[in-house]
Amino acid sequence: MSLALAEDHLAQVVQQGAQESASALSRLLRRPVGVEGFAVAEVAAVARDHSRVAVVLAFETSGGVPGHLAFVVDEAIAASLVASLTGADAGELNKSALMALAEIGNIAASAFLNGVARVVGRTCLPSVPRVTHSPTEQALRAALPPVPLRVATLRVDGSDTVTVVFAAG
């Protein structure tokens, strides 16, 4: 298979990756995490689905499917995820909270790419995460190429949204 994926195959890759991410996050956070839906969208549309300021955990992917992967989490939800992981009260997103989010992102990205690797039959690797806590659209534009993006919505506890965004190539 070439590194450029057909659209239908790319959809399958993102679906499998999102399922794996949800499963890993559920085990890590000890909270239910499910996949709610999939779409193709531009950066501006993804940003509109989030609060004005969010945390973006961005990765470059290499190996079987090179590209860009990002997890978008609103500030309040990010604080809640850190609290689930550390046992601390949900507070401000200080340096240690952002470091905890980077670890959550590492686990979610690795799980996503393990799912992708099963679909394409080749090893896929994430880069070191780039953690950005800033205006959502600005962070997404810095992390992702200006192409149509594959988007999956994860729900934590049935209500909190984590958006998974992938751009192959």
- Provide the residue ranges of all domains of the chain, joining segments of one domain with +: 7-168
CA 46 to chain centre: 12
Measured N-to-C along each axis, helices 7-29 and 95-120 cross at an angle, to the nearest 10 degrees, of 130
Tokens for 161? 């949204």
For residue 50, the SS3 value is coil
Question: How much is the pTM?
Answer: 0.93
For residue 137, the SS3 value is helix
* Residue 5's pLDDT band (cuts 50, 70, 90): low
What distance in Å separates the CA atoms of residue 78 and residue 72, rounded to the nearest whole number? 9
Q: What is the pLDDT of residue 147?
A: 92
Q: Counting runs of H as helices and runs of E as strands, what totals does the chain give?
A: 5, 7
140-154 mean pLDDT: 95
Backbone phi, psi, residue 134, to 5°: -160, -175
- CATH for the stretch 7-168: 3.40.1550.10
Q: How far is CA 73 from CA 119, 166, 169, in A?
A: 26, 15, 24
* pLDDT tens profile 91-127: 778 898 999 999 999 999 999 999 999 999 999 999 9
